[in-house]
């Protein structure tokens, strides 16, 4: 019966770990390509802490300059074949352009952080561990009786 008790405890610990991992979303990476003097896609939506990378696929230079004041560098700083990345940490809509090529514009919309998953009574880690321990103790007592 000790093996059964150990199996119950292990199952409970794995379940509790899975519940904790499910509540943590990983940051994503999104690509925007500069091709034929256009951003593709021109409008994207990301979440806070996501990283966007712009790839210059053209044979000529560009830049990525945001109205909010940050950029890939000066005019024409993104040379052919190069890329530049920026991590967005604040929600909002951020317009940007290539200062070398008029009409080459885009937007990044950063959504609000995803809400934490709702807590289900009894499935918080301490409660889950206590429940597993209680089941294991009851199983042990039954096997001893």
The arithmetic mean of pLDDT across residues 107-121, rounded, is 78
What CATH number is given to the structural domain containing 61?
Answer: 2.60.40.420
How many Cα atoms within 13 Å fall on the side-chain side of residue 111? 9
What are the tokens at 60? 């000529």
CA 102 to chain centre: 32
Instruction: Tell me: do 122 and 73 sit in the same domain.
Output: no
Same domain, yes or no: 131 and 83: no
Q: Check whether 15 has a pLDDT greater than 50.
A: no
38-93 confidence digits (pLDDT tens): 999 999 999 999 999 999 999 999 999 999 999 999 999 999 999 999 999 999 99
pLDDT at residue 134, as a whole number: 73
Q: How many domains does the chain have?
A: 2
């Amino acid at each position: 019966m000790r093996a059964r008790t150990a199996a119950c405890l292990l199952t409970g610990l794995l379940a509790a770990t899975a519940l904790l991992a499910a509540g943590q979303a990983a940051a994503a990476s999104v690509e925007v390509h500069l091709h034929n003097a256009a951003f593709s896609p021109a409008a994207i939506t990301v979440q806070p802490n996501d990283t966007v990378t712009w790839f210059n696929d053209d044979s000529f230079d560009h830049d990525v300059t945001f109205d909010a004041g940050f950029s890939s560098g000066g005019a024409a700083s993104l040379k052919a074949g190069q890329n530049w990345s920026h991590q967005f940490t604040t929600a909002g809509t951020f317009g940007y352009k290539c200062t070398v090529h008029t009409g080459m514009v885009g937007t990044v919309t950063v959504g609000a952080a995803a809400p934490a998953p709702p807590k289900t009574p009894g499935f918080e880690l301490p409660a889950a561990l206590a429940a597993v321990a209680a089941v294991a103790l009851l199983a042990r007592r039954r096997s001893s009786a």
